[in-house]
Structure 1
Amino acid sequence: MSRSVAASRYALALYEVARDQGKLDGVQADMRELRKVFRESSDLRALLGSPKITGSKKKEMLKGLFAGADGLTVNLLQVLTDAQRIGEAADVADEFILMANESAGVAEAKVYSTRPLSDAEQQELSTVFAAKVGKQALRIDNIVDPSLIGGVRIRIGNRIYDNSLKTKLDHLKRDLVNA
């Protein structure tokens, strides 16, 4: 997560306004998309970081790029551009998502499996593992990893729960070699 004090302050301000206006879910969805766009597009980051492009042109581009987003999200991007902190947009999004999840009792989880999990399977994993980490629910990002052979590996924050067949076979191999 972000270590920027400025990113935390922008995120907190956005969080409080979104909460007060009852727009937390919509803005959080925008922040997920914003984070993805800013992290994956080095061209966009370079373009927005260019001193050759005026602030008003950058704001116009961002307004067009995020035309379907909530007004609060677009306003955040405008403010970050004016403050010459648009490079911290992904960090602001990280902080916002963390705050929104914390207030809702939700944790982010990456679930690695050999095949895509059904909604029912994801819900069952969420119910079981959310209780283990003291949360009400998990927001699951299912990642297909055929190297697991079977079972699942779950990462929630810095905790890893590994019940994959690959890990079990590795442990068995280690035990046989050391016996």
Structure 2
Amino acid sequence: IGLEPPERRIGQLGHDLQMAAGTRKLILTRALRNGTAPTVASRWLQRLLAVGGPSLANDLRSRGRDLIDWAGRIDQGQSVPNAPRPSPKPPAELQPKKYSFSEVGRLRRDPYAIYARHILRLDPIAPFNLDPGPAERGSLYHRIVDRFVREEKTGEPLSLIDRILHEEFDAVALPPHIDAVW
């Protein structure tokens, strides 16, 4: 049906990295540890160091030492005491009388989440600039098929589906990198 293979996205990410590396001032970093476990350098970095040899590796490390020292100084500032943990105590008449099964566990783990949801009536904010996922893709495809089945079939079916596709894709206004694949 014309979907792009997953390898294309990996290749695109590699291309984007190389394009970004063309800037005048560039700092490439990597984590040496993930929690308590050591990490492995990416294949790209391993190949770069293999081609550049020990002199490149030493040069990169020596130029990076200043940046590491500067980053370490951030933690050397004055100690600031932590803010006290929120402990809301709403009046009994505002407290929920019933909890759903899933909220009981949440009440033990994070009572503030229950307070924010039921007392303050706050809903979680959707993550900013989040790419649409499989659910949004499925909903879009279902709307397209539903419209195609319901709309009156006058004229050529291919022109009808083409018009519906353009209208639905225009309505959701997907980011260009998603629109091209979907």
The bucket for the TM-score relative to the shorter chain is: under 0.3
> Which structure carries more strand by proportion?
1
Whichever structure has more helix as a proportion of its residues is 1
**TM-score, length basis structure 2:** 0.21
TM-score, length basis structure 1: 0.21
Higher relative contact order (CA 8 A, sep 6+): 1
Larger Rg: 2
